[in-house]
Each structure stands twice: as C-alpha cells, then as structure tokens.
Amino acid sequence: MDEPNKALRLQGLTKFYGSQRGIEDLTLDVRPGEVFGFLGPNGAGKTTTIRMILGLIHPTRGRGEVLGLDIVKDSVRLRAQVGYLPGDLALYDRMQGKDLLEFVGRMRGGVPATAYEQLAERMQLDLDRRIKDLSRGNRQKVGVVAAFMHSPRLLVLDEPTSGLDPVVQQEFQRLVRETVDAGATVFLSSHVLAEVEEMADRVGIVVSGRLAVVDTVDTLRERAARKIELDFPAAPPDLTGAPGVQRVDVRGATATCWLTGPAGSLLKLAVDHGVVDIHTHEPDLEDAFLGYVTGEDS
C-alpha cells in the first residue's frame, strides 16, 4: 500500500449528540512522523474527536481519513493499524495484566510476550497482579502498554499520562520520542501543557467545540503575551493604556502585565512612576493556551 502523505486528514468533521455540540467543523491534517498535541479545556471536544478518528462514533457531518482509510467505511481495518489509549479506560478487572495484554495481542494477530514485557518493565508495571488490584496510575500503564505493544504506525492517545507519576511520565515521553523516531505518528490530547510543549511538534487548541488555532509550539509561544511583574513603592499607576499591554492584574504594590511586542513604552511609564523592581517571564505554552481559552464565549 502506498504511504499516504497525511497520517490524519479531517475535513469539516462535526459531531452533535442530539442538540449538544461535541465538535464542530474540524478541519485538520497531521503529517506522518509528527507528534500533534490536541489541547482544550474540559468539554471542548477532544474525546469526541478522538472517538470519531477511531470510528467508534460516526460524524454528524464531515469526513476523515486515517492512514488513508475512511473513518466510517474502513473503521475495522483502521483500528487494527492504530494504537489507541482511551480516556476512560475500561479493562477486564479479573485478569492479570499479562493475560489481558496477551489477549489484546491475540486480537491484533499476535504480539510477542517480549514486546509487552519490555514495555511493562519500562513503565514499572507488575504484570502478575490482577487489574482490579492495581492503582489508577498502574491501570493506566496497562493501557499505555496495550497501545504501544504492536508497534502501530499511528498512536491516538487520550490524556495518556493522566494518573502517572512524574518518573513514569518522563519514561512515557521517552517512549513517544523513540516511537516517532522509528517512523510512527502520534496524536495526543492532554491537559498537561508542559508535557505537550516538550513532546509535540504542532498543537491544536479547541475551545467550545471549535478549533481556535493550529501552529507549532514555538510560534504559539512567540505569539503569546509575556508576563512582566512591576513592583512600585505604593499602589501602581494605571498601565492598561501602554502600547502592547493586553491585561493588567494589580495586587498590593505589584502590577502584573501581559504584553505583546516591545516593552519600551510600558517600562518608561513604570520608571516615570518610580518602579522599584521588574521581573519578566518568557511565555510558555500555558500562556498561549490561556490566551485562547479566556475570552471564550460559553
């Protein structure tokens, strides 16, 4: 089969649950070999999108292709080629981890035990325990192993690190990087902005069922307002009118300003009012995210 030039191609993808909007008019391409971060606040439509990508629910309108396969017509074939970690992981409780993974592996046409054993070791997961006796984070690890163990060409991960401790999260990030270096594509939703910033090449931010922006992490960071804290001897002057200032928070004698563009005018105004100290913070993805999410209309 020819390698499609898009790992994922969504066109006007829309899902309504009755009158409740899940996601609306989502058009998005993901390139092979890319890590794409899908961000948005609770209820924005991330899981809805992911379920449509897997063909688990069908769009109200629009269409999508995954690895060249139609998400409605070819959903069975498509699921065989994708590693999927659902956000609401439900597992067969009575089984031991290793039996469950062997079972899932057999459904995928056979996965050698060494594949899931090695992954379990990396994730510090004990495969001899019954699923129902595992903590939430350890169950999540079973899901991670199940998603990666057959070396799929595309991984679709819905909040993969939820419940994982920081050490395991780091290991998970290394795993994603290695998987992508080996040629796979990763589409992941997350609330952990620092992690997306670390892993993703590009990011899409969904707000209230609509895609607000798609860009590289670097560009989003550059465009985000940077934060400048100004300490005054007493109540700060009104800084809201200074060029480039997007927002000002005042607490006691400190004014925190969010600024885009050059800082000259703001700093001059601050100096004229006797500013005693200045702290600047480089913007990160969180600043970009908050910039899109605040001002949301619902």
CA distance 157 to 261: 36
Residue 133 has what DSSP assignment?
A: G
Number of residue whose CB is nearest Mg ion: 47
Indicate which of ligand ATP, Mg ion, none lies near residue 40 (CB less than 5 to 8 Å, by partner kind): ligand ATP
Which tokens in the block code for residue 186? Answer: 């990763």
Given the rule CB under 6 A, which residues bind ligand ATP?
A: 17, 20, 22, 40, 42-48, 87
Nearer to ligand ATP, 82 or 242 (CB): 82
- The candidate with the shortest Cα–Cα distance to 156, out of 100, 75, 81, is 81
Nearer to Mg ion, 22 or 236 (CB): 22
> Do 85 and 158 contact (CB within 8 A), yes or no?
yes
Nearer CB in complex with Mg ion: 116/187: 187
How near is the Cβ of 206 to ligand ATP at its closest, in Å? 7
Distance in Å, CB of 47 to Mg ion, minimum: 3
Q: Which does 190 bind (CB under 5 to 8 A by kind): Mg ion, ligand ATP, none?
A: none
What region, left, alpha or beta, does residue 62 occupy, with left being phi > 0 and alpha being psi -120 to 50 degrees?
Answer: left
How many Cβ atoms from other residues are within 10 Å of residue 222's Cβ?
13
Q: Minimal distance in Å, beta carbon 149 to ligand ATP?
A: 25
**By the rule CB under 5 A, 87 interacts with Mg ion:** yes
Query: Using the rule CB under 5 A, is 41 a contact of Mg ion?
Result: no
Q: Which is nearer to Mg ion, 50 or 259 (CB)?
A: 50
Q: What is the DSSP letter of 143?
A: H
User: What does the block give as tokens for 92?
Assistant: 């067969």
CB of 17 to ligand ATP, least distance (A): 3
Piece in contact with Mg ion (CB under 5 A), picked from 43-51, 61-69, 205-213, 286-294:
43-51
In whole angstroms, give the CA distance from residue 202 to residue 214.
Answer: 7
Please identify, using beta-carbon distances, which residue of 68 and 87 lies nearer to Mg ion: 87
CB of 73 to ligand ATP, least distance (A): 23
Nearest of 30, 18, 26 to residue 61 by alpha carbon: 26
Is 234 within 8 Å of 286 (Cβ atoms)?
no
The packing angle between helices 136-148 and 166-181, to 10°, is: 10
Element (H, E) at 6: none
- Out of Mg ion, ligand ATP, none, what residue 42 binds, judged by CB under 5 to 8 A for its kind, is ligand ATP
Residue 291 contacts which entry, Mg ion, ligand ATP, none (Cβ below 5-8 A, type-dependent): none
With 0-12 / 13-18 / 19 or more C-beta atoms within 10 angstroms meaning exposed / middle / buried, residue 295 is exposed
Rule CB under 5 A: say whether 43 interacts with Mg ion.
no
Q: What is the largest CA-CA distance in the chain?
A: 72
Q: Which does 44 bind (CB under 5 to 8 A by kind): Mg ion, ligand ATP, none?
A: ligand ATP
* Minimum CB distance to ligand ATP, residue 191 (Å): 6
The token pair that represents 19 in the structure block: 């009158």
Task: Pick the binder of Mg ion from 47, 138, 179, 185 (CB under 5 A).
Answer: 47
Q: Closest approach of Cβ 21 to ligand ATP, in Å?
A: 6
Instruction: Name the phi and psi angles at 280, rounded to 5.
Output: -115, 150
Q: Which does 64 bind (CB under 5 to 8 A by kind): ligand ATP, Mg ion, none?
A: none
